[in-house]
Every structure is written in structure tokens, then in C-alpha cells.
Amino acid sequence: MKQKLTAVGLFCFSCLYAAGGWGLKLGTFKKPGPGMFPLLIGIGLLVCTGIYLWQTFRKPEEPEPSQESVHAGTVIQLSAAILVYPVLLHYLNFILATFAVVYFMLLTLKYKGPVWDFVIALGSVVFSFVVFAMILGVSLSFGPVEEIFFRLRG
């Protein structure tokens, strides 16, 4: 099933990409336009994903391991945390957003219970803020909480 979904997804992407490439100015061999290279890529992609789609649907389906869903759940939760991070960063700035994501990940990975995970998450985020932002001068997203640290430094 996974192979089939991937094949369909890739083929759809190829169709969209080739159509997008076709819509750009192709130019001529004498004066190649911005669409020539994308069109070549699009054709190549379309041919390869077409063959892959055909091969995948011809092959009999392989049974999937039963315990996969347990670990897949962990991966889905970790993915969600990483995808939500840009939104959190936009509203909460570095320390709070990163703490929320790291704490959630520790809880998901079931390390030592909520209290220990809280301490570890807080410690690692504050440590990384001090090292990267305050010592190395890395530009991160700063807000009121980060300002407190800078004021403490003086």
C-alpha cells in the first residue's frame, strides 16, 4: 500500500511539475529560455514515475509488519511537533516555543515521567539559548522572556 501511495503521489507531482515547466518560456536551442531545463526535468520525471507507477501496480502486495503502527505513532507525533514549531516560534519566540517542542518530544518518547522531562527540557533549552544566543551571538527569535536573560547579563 505504501509503495502504491508513493507511486501515485510521485506521478501526480510529476504531472504538475511538467505542466508548470511547460507554462514557462521555453526559448529555442539558440537562446534557451527559463523553461527549458524544467521541461527536460519534467519529462524525465514523468517517464520515470510513470514506469514506477506501472511497476508498482503490477507487483503483488507485500504484507506489512503488524507492530509498525506503534512506532509510526511516535514518528507522527514528532513530525507534528517539528511542523508546529515555526508557528510557535512566530508567536512565542525562541525559549517558550523550543521548550514546548522539546518537552512534548520527551513526553512522546517516554523518558522518565513528566517532572523529569520538564526539568530536562527547560535545562536544555536555557542552555542552548545561553550558548547560541548569548555567547555565540546567533540570531534567534527574541521576545520578553529572552529579554529577561539579556537584562540579567547586563
Partner 1 sequence: MEMWQSLTHGFSIALEPMNMLYALVGCIVGTITGILPGIGPLGAMAILLSFTLYMNAAGAMIFFAGIYYGAMYGGSTTSILLNIPGESASVITCIDGYQMARKGRGGAALSVSAVGSFVAGTISILGLMLATSFLGSAALRFGPPEFVAIGVCGLVLLVKLSQGSMLKSTIMIFLGMAIYSVGIDYLTGTLRFTLGIERLSQGIDFLPVAMGLFGISEVFETAYASAQMGKARKVKFREMLPTRKEWRRSVPPMFRGSFIGFLIGLIPGPAPMISTFVSYIAEKKISKHPEEFGQGAIEGVAGPESANNAAVGGAYVPLLALGIPFTPAMAMVLGALMLHNITPGPNLILEKPDLFWGVIASMYIANFMLLLLNLPMVNIFVNILRTPKQILLPVIVMLSLVGVYSVNSSLIDLLIMGLCGIIGFMFKRVGFQPAPLIIAMVISPMLENSLRQALLISGGDLGAVIWRPICGALYLIALGILVAPWLVKRVSILANN
Rounded Cα–Cα distance for residues 72 and 75 (Å): 5
Residue 136: CA count within 13 A, CB half-sphere: 10
At its nearest, how many Å lie between partner 1 and the CB of residue 58? 13
Q: What does the binding site for partner 1 look like in residue numbers (CB under 8 A)?
A: 2-3, 6, 10, 17, 20-21, 24-25, 28-38, 41-42, 44-45, 48-49, 51-52, 55, 71-72, 74-75, 78-79, 81-83, 85-87, 89-90, 98, 101-102, 105-106, 109-111, 120-121, 124-125, 128, 132, 136, 138-141
Q: Which residues of 80-104 are buried (b: 16+ CB within 10 A; e: fewer)?
A: ebeeeeeebbeebbbbbbbbbbbbb
At its nearest, how many Å lie between partner 1 and the CB of residue 148? 19
* Pairs from 67-72 (Cβ < 8 Å, separation ≥ 24): none
At its nearest, how many Å lie between partner 1 and the CB of residue 121? 7
At its nearest, how many Å lie between partner 1 and the CB of residue 85? 6
* Residue closer to partner 1, measured from CB, 86 or 147: 86
The residue type found at 63 is P
